[in-house]
């Protein structure tokens, strides 16, 4: 466990050495900030005219996760592939570190990076709380944030796992992006056409549990299990890919 | 400390290492000599737990490299051939990171200590990416020494170093070799000669000779080769030298110098010198040629061929 933390900490520090990390951070926070401002302006307009509903932060977290479909692959693409390319994987694989610890450390480092962004976005509900009366429904806000962490966890684990398969970070990026597109947009598309299988197809969708349940304040067991399973699957793929590299 | 038996490694259909057997004991520096593609790096990668062998067994520091890989890795210091480093890290931070992964107590003091050992204390706060090749080599070496490992495995440790550093690094290895086990690979015969207690010569994945350096040389150098230079024509000089009894393989080189060979043991240099001067040449140079590893290899493999 110690090693996971050591690796995660280095990876986290390392993010702030690379311009890409700042671009990613900006690509998350800037749209969210603009969107938040628009929500505020729009609902205050409505309020002046004596109508409309009170704004909440659900839209913001939904946008965060939606952006992550595109940005998570960029956050994870080089994590292991680049070590393979540079040869530093040989250092890691001959250090007294278990393959799983190495992969999990990479994942945790990426999680800490995303959590940093998520922490910054806490400004939005806090500001909003002062504008609406009787204040925000904090239970929903917390559920929404837990959902955000769960989805990020699944995405980053899959990204790290795929990064372990490739020695080229762009290959890792596009395969990860492709997988997220599939799980986000396409997997439950036929649900409308084949109603018998719609439950299963919706269960497999990465967006469904978050946008339909968790983000709206209902922490479903199915949703939690789904994201945790994907996290485990990603870490498993990564560990196995490393083991296969050794045997080759 | 290192016990290798029947070690075999296949990369797909290519057999890189074939049924290796050897030992290395505590307090011993063992050299791994061989041409490109002989299987030195492959063997070292197996011994450091980087990859498992296809067949056979290796015990390092008392543990099996496959079954107890983590225990082996705790006790081995390894300098990979390519000297992989995180170029975007500061030297000190990098070594501290590697030390943290090994759970070293007082990591920071230890990092300063090894940096001092490899003469890089003044670059501790610099980025690895800004270091010269030789300096990176030394950072790699510092990393291998960090945890005072029982077994040190160094893949071509002095390649790319300047002559002063070569001397210093060899001194360091020699010092460590007194108490620990060192296995190092090299292409340089003279490095093996003045550093190693024992040499394994490996070719095409097989050990073709194993002995102390002195013995190997005597065995391999059936003949000694000498180059002669005079003021004057090389072809005529060659004829003159051929008159001396016992000289063999007389060849004229492009620059007018002449090379010849005689069976080791009876030094014909005085006779040749006398003959050259008697004929009226001004003798400019008479110099023995050391045999390079490559030449020894050619010797060794062609001799093998004849015997079989
Ligand atoms: N990852 C790999 N995949 C396939 N073949 C490999 C791999 N690594 C090494 N080989 C092959 O195995 C053989 C031994 O290579 P190895 O790197 O062990 O030689 P070496 O003795 O270290 O050579 P050098 O002196 O050039 O460093 C070579 O034929 C090489 O092409
Ligand atoms: Mg090699």
Domains with residue ranges and CATH for chain B: 2-219 (3.40.50.300), 223-290 (3.30.70.100)
- Which positions in chain A touch B89 (Cβ < 8 Å)? 14
**Quick check: B203 pLDDT over 90?**
no
One-character DSSP codes across B287-302: EEEPPPHHHHHHHHHH
**What confidence tier does B308 reach under pLDDT thresholds 50, 70, 90?**
very low
As a whole number of angstroms, the distance between CA A83 and CA B174 comes to 32
Mean pLDDT value of segment A86-98: 96
pLDDT at B221: 61
**What confidence tier does B296 reach under pLDDT thresholds 50, 70, 90?**
low
Question: What's the mean per-residue pLDDT of chain A?
Answer: 90
A49 contacts: CB under 8 Å, gap ≥ 6: none
Q: What are the tens digits of pLDDT across the range A33-68?
A: 998 888 888 877 777 776 666 667 778 888 999 999
Strands B63-64, B55-60: pairing kind? antiparallel
* Ligand 1 pocket check for B33: Cβ under 6 Å: no
Question: What's the mean per-residue pLDDT of chain B?
Answer: 86
pLDDT at A48: 74
B150 neighbors B60 (Cβ within 8 angstroms): no
Q: Which residue has the tokens 């505590």?
A: B26
> Hey, are the CB atoms on B103 and A14 less than 8 Å from each other?
no
Strands B223-231, B2-11: pairing kind? unpaired
**Residue B228 forms beta bridges with which residues?**
B258, B286
> Nearest residue of B to residue A89 by CA position?
B84
CA torsion, points A48, A52, A58, A59, in degrees to nearest 10?
-80
Q: What are the tens digits of pLDDT across the range B214-249?
A: 666 666 665 667 777 787 777 777 787 777 777 777
- Which positions in chain A touch B98 (Cβ < 8 Å)? 91, 95
Pick the more confident residue, A84 or A217.
Answer: A84
Mean pLDDT value of segment B251-276: 77
**Quick check: A227 pLDDT over 90?**
yes
pLDDT at A9: 96
As a whole number of angstroms, the distance between CA A184 and CA A202 comes to 10
Q: What are the tens digits of pLDDT across the range A12-26?
A: 999 998 898 899 999
ipTM here: 0.90
Mean pLDDT value of segment A193-219: 82
Delimit the domains of chain A by residue range: 2-247
Pick the more confident residue, A106 or B289.
Answer: A106
pLDDT at B218: 60
Phi and psi, residue B186, nearest 5°: -160, 160
**Residue B184 forms beta bridges with which residues?**
B31, B154
pLDDT at A52: 63
**Quick check: B68 pLDDT over 80?**
yes
As a whole number of angstroms, the distance between CA B153 and CA B197 comes to 15
**Residue B183 forms beta bridges with which residues?**
B30, B153
3-class DSSP state for residue B303?
Answer: helix
pLDDT at A161: 98
As a whole number of angstroms, the distance between CA A132 and CA A130 comes to 6
- Which positions in chain B touch A98 (Cβ < 8 Å)? 70
pLDDT at B305: 41
Instruction: Considering only the beta carbons, identify the residue of A6, A7, A90 that sits closest to B80.
Output: A90
As a whole number of angstroms, the distance between CA A208 and CA A172 comes to 25
pLDDT at A173: 97
Q: What are the tens digits of pLDDT across the range B128-139?
A: 999 998 899 999
CA-closest candidate to residue A153, choices A71, A232, A66, A70: A232
**What confidence tier does A86 reach under pLDDT thresholds 50, 70, 90?**
very high
Choose the most confident range, by mean pLDDT, from A1-5, A153-157, B129-133. A153-157
Cβ neighbours around B296 below 10 Å, total: 19
The two three-digit tokens of residue B219, written as one number: 């065995």
As a whole number of angstroms, the distance between CA A198 and CA A204 comes to 10
Strands B14-24, B2-11: pairing kind? antiparallel
**What confidence tier does B307 reach under pLDDT thresholds 50, 70, 90?**
very low
Cβ neighbours around B171 below 10 Å, total: 11
The two three-digit tokens of residue B225, written as one number: 């080769």
Strand runs labelled E in chain B:
2-11, 14-24, 29-33, 55-60, 63-64, 76-79, 151-155, 181-186, 198-203, 206-211, 223-231, 248-252, 258-263, 282-289
> Nearest residue of A to residue B127 by CA position?
A17
**Residue B55 forms beta bridges with which residues?**
B8
> Hey, are the CB atoms on B82 and A87 less than 8 Å from each other?
yes
Mean pLDDT value of segment A219-233: 92
Ordered strands of the B206-211 beta sheet:
B76-79, B151-155, B181-186, B29-33, B198-203, B206-211
For residue A206, what are the CA distances in angstroms to A156, A195, A209?
A: 13, 19, 7
CA atoms within a 13 Å half-sphere pointing along the CA-CB vector of A81: 23
The two three-digit tokens of residue B218, written as one number: 């005597």
As a whole number of angstroms, the distance between CA A171 and CA A162 comes to 9
């Amino acid at each position: 466990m110690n090693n996971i933390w050591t690796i995660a900490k280095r990876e986290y520090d390392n993010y702030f050495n690379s311009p890409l990390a700042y671009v990613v951070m900006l690509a998350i926070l800037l749209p969210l900030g603009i969107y938040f401002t628009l929500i505020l302006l729009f609902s205050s307009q409505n309020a002046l005219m004596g109508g409309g509903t009170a704004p909440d932060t659900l839209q913001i977290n939904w946008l965060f996760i939606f952006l992550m479909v595109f940005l998570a692959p960029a956050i994870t693409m080089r994590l292991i592939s680049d070590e393979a390319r540079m040869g530093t994987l040989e250092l890691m694989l001959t250090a007294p570190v278990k393959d799983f610890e190495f992969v999990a450390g990479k994942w945790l480092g990426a999680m800490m990076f995303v959590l940093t962004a998520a922490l910054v976005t806490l400004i939005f509900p806090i500001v909003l709380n002062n504008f609406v009366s009787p204040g925000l429904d904090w239970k929903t806000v917390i559920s929404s944030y837990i959902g955000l962490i769960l989805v990020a966890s699944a995405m980053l684990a899959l990204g790290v796992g795929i990064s372990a398969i490739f020695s080229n970070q762009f290959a890792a990026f596009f395969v990860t992006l492709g997988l997220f597109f599939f799980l986000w947009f396409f997997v439950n598309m036929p649900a409308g056409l084949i109603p018998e299988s719609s439950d299963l197809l919706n269960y497999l969708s990465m967006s469904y549990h978050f946008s339909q349940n968790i983000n709206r304040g209902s922490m479903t067991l199915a949703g939690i299990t789904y994201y945790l399973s994907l996290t485990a699957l990603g870490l498993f793929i990564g560990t196995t890919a490393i083991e296969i590299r050794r045997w080759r | 400390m290192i016990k290798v038996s029947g070690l075999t490694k296949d990369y797909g259909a290519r057999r890189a290492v074939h049924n290796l057997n050897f030992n290395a004991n505590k307090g011993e520096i063992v050299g791994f000599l061989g041409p490109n593609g002989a299987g030195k790096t492959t063997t070292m990668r197996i011994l450091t737990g980087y990859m498992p062998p296809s067949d056979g067994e290796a015990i390092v520091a008392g543990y099996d490299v496959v079954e107890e890989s983590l225990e082996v890795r705790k006790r081995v210091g390894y300098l990979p051939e390519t000297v992989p480093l995180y170029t975007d890290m500061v030297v000190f931070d990098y070594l501290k990171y590697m030390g943290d992964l090994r759970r070293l107590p007082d990591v920071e003091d230890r990092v300063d200590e090894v940096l001092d050992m490899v003469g890089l204390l003044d670059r501790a706060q610099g980025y690895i990416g800004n270091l010269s090749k030789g300096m990176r080599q030394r950072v790699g070496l510092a990393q291998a020494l960090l945890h005072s490992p029982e077994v040190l495995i160094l893949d071509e440790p002095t390649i790319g170093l300047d002559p002063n550093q070569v001397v210093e690094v060899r001194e360091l290895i020699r010092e460590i070799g007194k108490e620990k086990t060192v296995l190092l690979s090299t292409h340089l015969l003279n490095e093996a000669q003045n550093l190693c207690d024992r040499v394994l010569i490996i070719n095409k994945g097989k050990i073709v000779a194993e002995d102390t350096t002195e013995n190997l040389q005597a065995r391999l150098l059936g003949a000694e080769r000498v180059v002669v230079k005079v003021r004057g024509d090389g072809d005529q000089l060659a004829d003159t030298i051929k008159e001396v009894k016992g000289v063999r393989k007389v060849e004229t080189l492009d620059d007018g110098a002449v090379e010849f060979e005689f069976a080791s043991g009876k030094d014909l240099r005085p006779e040749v010198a006398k003959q050259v001067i008697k004929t009226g040449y001004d003798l400019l140079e008479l110099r023995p040629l050391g045999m390079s590893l490559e030449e020894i290899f050619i010797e060794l493999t062609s001799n093998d061929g004849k015997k079989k």
